[in-house]
Amino acid sequence: MVLLDPRAERPVHRMAVVQVPRVLPRLVRLPETPAGPGHDYAFMVDIVEEHLDTLFPGLTVLHACSFRVTRDSNLDLVEEASTDLMEALEQELDRRRRGEPVRLEISSGAAPEIVARFLEAFELEIDDVYECDGPVNLGRLMELYRTEDRRELKDAPFLPCVLARWETPDEMFAKLRAEDLLLHHPYESFGTVELFVQHAANDPNVLAIKHTIYRAGETSAIVRSLIAASEARKQVTVVVELKARFDEEANIRWAKRMEHAGIHVVYGIVGLKTHAKATLVVRRDDGGIRHYCHLGSGNYNPTTAKVYTDVGLLTAHEGIGKEVAAMFNMITGYAEAPAMEHLVVAPHAMRDRLLELIRTETQNAAAGKPARIRAKMNAIVDSNVIRALYDASRAGVEIRLCVRGICCLRPGVPGMSDNIRVTSIVGRFLEHSRICWFENAGGEPLIWLSSADWMPRNLDRRVEQAVPILDRNARAKAIEILEASLRDNHKAREILSDGGYGSVPVPPGEEPYDSQESLRQAAARRRGDGSGDQAPESPVEVQTIPESKPEPRRRVSAPRKSPLG
């Protein structure tokens, strides 16, 4: 704000900053009135601004505005030079709060003098300034969702169906030896994965458990089971990715707790993030030692498993199990990654295998054989993969992609990507699963589940896994999930050849198809109540995304006239 002391001999403008304590709510419910239903709210910043004269008695408030500074959150960590990675990371986390400013958000109409003062103080450029025609932190509006008990404005809590209710470890392992189980969250309960680890921890025939943690969340039944397994004198190894951005502190707490319980905690390979989602159980069966695995596309996080769509495979396939064991040996023992028949691991082989699969479809199309690629993921950025897809399109490969987030591929460009179509779904649940389909010349299609997007960071700088789905029932289910996403013409938007997005047309005579709603209803039918909206004991309500959008933020591009005159 800009202040003026009217008692001074000559007018001098002074600048002051009022900090609102974080413990105070940013939205304040106003007293109810008989005017009608509903509640009125005021932003705390507006209340403070209205009473600034009481904070500065005797001074005149000429101008006031709200602002927010974003700081660089990257951690300046040199792993090779760190003798204690956890200690070095804790020091960097303390420095993060004092990181270099990178952006200034400020109220629309802020005085140029104030903007100029901030630019000088924070060492920013004019292009780093963003005007906000509203609150400078839109996230504060989530307080409305938490405080308003307006059920008609919210999605009803969703209760997932439970695919497996194994009563004993013996029953569970016998079922997995008979067939694989593909889980689709949040339509199917993440509790099945938690039960898998719990039974493994309690089974006296289990010799060892290995597990990866990327974003486990604040509470984790899986970690509790791993601690119980360690206390039962099983060999437990957990790969904790300490550098998972914004989850570093939570992961450090988990690592310390597990180390205290006797678990062998490792932090992966220097220079690489461990982003693979894998659990390996080594068990003494009647026929000898056998491996049981869970491999997924999502984090072992019980909270996000209720709002992110992810897939996970539970399997006792011995070939896959041995290769998962080899992957863990690579991560925890610095062993070389061996040649693998089933599992594909980044950064050693995933890019080459992916390009090989795309080129095979390209060759099949050129030879007049059936050739199709179907895939669902979060992002496509890698230039080598994009060029390979363009080559495949020119050869006649039919390519359908569902990419929720960043997509650097331009579909529908004549002569380059005519045969590529890309859609994006934004709905009640965040689309996070990663599934790929390659036609394979009309033979048995190759269906893959992966932890990786098609991005350089995933293919080159992270430990990732992709696994083929071999069980016939699991394959059929994966195809249904993929085709449901590609069929969506209600929540989906299509990337146009000019890079814009447009609605997906609904075929004449057909009803719009909402993939998430269809899958939700299917889960409800399997559960038996037909509704899908019955509240569980601890329901997680999901905010409905409003159709209207707030005014866009405007980047400041030139000096403006001061309201101070």
Average pLDDT over residues 286-302: 94
Q: What does each C-alpha distance from 7 to 12, 311, 315, 460 come to in angstroms?
A: 10, 70, 80, 66
The model's pLDDT over 155-206, given as tens digits with 9 standing for 90+, comes to 888 899 999 999 999 999 999 999 999 999 999 999 999 999 999 999 999 9
453 or 77, which is more confident?
Answer: 453
User: What domains can you pick out in the chain, each with its CATH number?
Assistant: 2-152 (3.30.1840.10), 169-341 (3.30.870.10), 346-527 (3.30.870.10)
| pLDDT reported for residue 494 | 97
Q: Would you please indicate which residues are annotated as catalytic (active-site) residues? A: 275
Cβ neighbourhood burial of 58 (10 Å; 0-12, 13-18, 19+): exposed
Confidence of residue 96 (pLDDT cuts 50, 70, 90): low
Confidence of residue 362 (pLDDT cuts 50, 70, 90): very high
| pLDDT reported for residue 35 | 64
Amino acid at 467: V
| pLDDT reported for residue 538 | 36
Confidence of residue 90 (pLDDT cuts 50, 70, 90): low
Average pLDDT over residues 135-152: 86
| pLDDT reported for residue 89 | 60
The model's pLDDT over 391-448, given as tens digits with 9 standing for 90+, comes to 999 999 999 999 999 999 999 999 999 999 999 999 999 999 999 999 999 789 999 9
| pLDDT reported for residue 154 | 87
| pLDDT reported for residue 97 | 63
| pLDDT reported for residue 545 | 31
| Rounded to 5°, angle at Cα 309 from 443 and 499 | 80
Question: Residue 226: pLDDT above 80?
Answer: yes
Average pLDDT over residues 9-20: 84
HEC string for 60-79: EEEECCCEEEEECCCCCCCH
The helices-and-strands tally (H runs, E runs) of the chain is 15, 27
| CA–CA distance, 2 with 14 (Å, rounded to integer) | 6
| CA–CA distance, 467 with 343 (Å, rounded to integer) | 5
Q: Helix, strand, coil: what percent of the chain each, to 5? A: 30, 25, 45
Mean pLDDT taken over the chain: 87
| pLDDT reported for residue 249 | 73
Average pLDDT over residues 97-104: 81
| pLDDT reported for residue 149 | 83
| pLDDT reported for residue 278 | 97
| Rounded to 5°, angle at Cα 215 from 25 and 434 | 115
421 or 16, which is more confident?
Answer: 421
Question: Residue 2: pLDDT above 90?
Answer: no
List the single range of 80-89, 361-370, 533-542 with lowest mean pLDDT: 533-542
The tokens of 79 are what? 């792993």
**What does pTM read for this prediction?**
0.83
| pLDDT reported for residue 542 | 35
| CA–CA distance, 407 with 409 (Å, rounded to integer) | 5
List the single range of 32-41, 49-58, 457-466 with lowest mean pLDDT: 32-41
| pLDDT reported for residue 247 | 63
